């Protein structure tokens, strides 16, 4: 069996790093005069590291996080009210093991989406499957299914994710169909998998975006039953940045 055949066999066994770097690995083994055991240990370490790297890339791609600012850039002094220990606990993923939820309630421009993205990123790094999606995107996806079977598959897709982050609930009103889809999607995760939700509305205002107070109450009950609700108050951080840029332009 020649080297090309060996590399093909290694690839078929999913030993991808070894297959792609066989020449370098064997050259290093010869140079360092590795024993058979040392060579095997070296190969195992390389494969483990490579699989961890590929797994991280795969989970990051599937999470659909996009670009986001790190928490190091978050100005903790800007909000007039924020429970920093609760946020830091969420970033440590303390809520995941107990299938608890995190609800971030804040007006626009106070960093709730940024915090949610950082929670998602930490979950990816910790090896969890993650999906970051806006409420509008998820409902558009579910409503587009053309059969009951297809809808069931998509609902199970959202239910299987280890940590689901639903952003921007409350920016649009929901008709009965969308309210029902949202309830189904989140109910399938109830007491099984964690949810991170961001909203610009206090729970008392949810009946204004749902077709009835009953549907809003039913959804709130499921979300809040095992949840840490983190409320952030203050002026828009983005507005502050815009005003600072405007002042800087006037000076120049």
Spatial contact of 201 and 166, defined as CB atoms under 8 Å apart: no
pLDDT at position 66, please?
86
Exposed/middle/buried for residue 23 (C-beta within 10 Å: 0-12, 13-18, 19+):
exposed
Spatial contact of 60 and 120, defined as CB atoms under 8 Å apart: no
DSSP-derived 3-state class of residue 21:
coil
pLDDT at position 247, please?
61
Spatial contact of 210 and 125, defined as CB atoms under 8 Å apart: no
DSSP secondary-structure letter at 1? -
The angle subtended at Cα 171 by Cα 165 and Cα 177, nearest 5°, is 80
pLDDT at position 79, please?
94
DSSP secondary-structure letter at 193? S
> Domains of the chain (ranges plus CATH)?
3-62 (no CATH), 71-239 (3.40.50.300)
Per-residue pLDDT of the chain (252 residues; tens, 9 = 90+): 667 777 777 777 677 777 778 778 877 878 878 888 888 888 888 888 878 777 778 878 888 988 899 999 999 999 999 999 999 999 999 999 999 999 999 999 999 999 999 999 999 999 999 999 999 999 999 999 999 999 999 999 999 999 999 999 988 889 999 999 999 999 999 999 999 999 999 999 999 999 998 989 999 999 999 999 999 999 987 666 666 666 666 655
Beta-carbon contacts of residue 8 (< 8 Å; ≥ 6 apart): 19
pLDDT at position 75, please?
92
Beta-carbon contacts of residue 228 (< 8 Å; ≥ 6 apart): 86, 89, 90, 95, 100, 101, 102, 103
Residue (of 197, 194, 151, 189) closest to 171 by Cα position: 197
pLDDT at position 130, please?
96
Return d(Cα 96, Cα 196) in angstroms, integer: 10
pLDDT at position 16, please?
76
DSSP-derived 3-state class of residue 74:
coil
Exposed/middle/buried for residue 100 (C-beta within 10 Å: 0-12, 13-18, 19+):
middle
């Amino acid at each position: 069996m020649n080297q090309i055949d060996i590399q093909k066999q290694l690839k078929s066994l999913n030993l991808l790093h070894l297959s792609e770097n066989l020449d370098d690995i064997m050259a290093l083994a010869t140079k360092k005069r590795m024993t058979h055991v040392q060579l095997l240990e070296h190969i195992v370490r390389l494969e483990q590291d490579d699989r961890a790297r590929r797994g991280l890339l795969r989970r990051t791609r599937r999470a659909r996080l996009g670009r986001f600012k790190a928490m190091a850039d978050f100005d903790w002094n800007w909000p007039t009210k924020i429970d920093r220990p609760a946020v830091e606990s969420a970033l440590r993923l303390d809520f995941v093991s107990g299938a608890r939820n995190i609800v971030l309630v804040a007006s626009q421009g106070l960093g709730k989406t940024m915090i949610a993205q950082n929670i998602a990123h930490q979950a990816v790094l910790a090896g969890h499957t993650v999906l970051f999606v806006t409420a509008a995107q998820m409902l558009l996806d579910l409503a587009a299914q053309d059969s009951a079977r297809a809808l069931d598959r998509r609902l199970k897709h959202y239910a299987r994710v280890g940590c689901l982050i639903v952003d921007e609930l409350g920016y649009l009103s929901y008709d009965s169909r969308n309210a029902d889809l949202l309830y189904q999607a989140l109910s399938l995760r109830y007491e099984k998998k964690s949810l991170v939700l961001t909203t610009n509305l206090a729970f008392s205002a949810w009946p204004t975006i749902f077709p009835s107070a009953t549907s809003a109450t039913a959804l709130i009950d499921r979300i809040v039953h095992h949840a840490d609700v983190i409320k952030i108050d203050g002026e828009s951080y983005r507005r502050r940045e815009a005003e600072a840029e405007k002042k800087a332009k006037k000076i120049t």
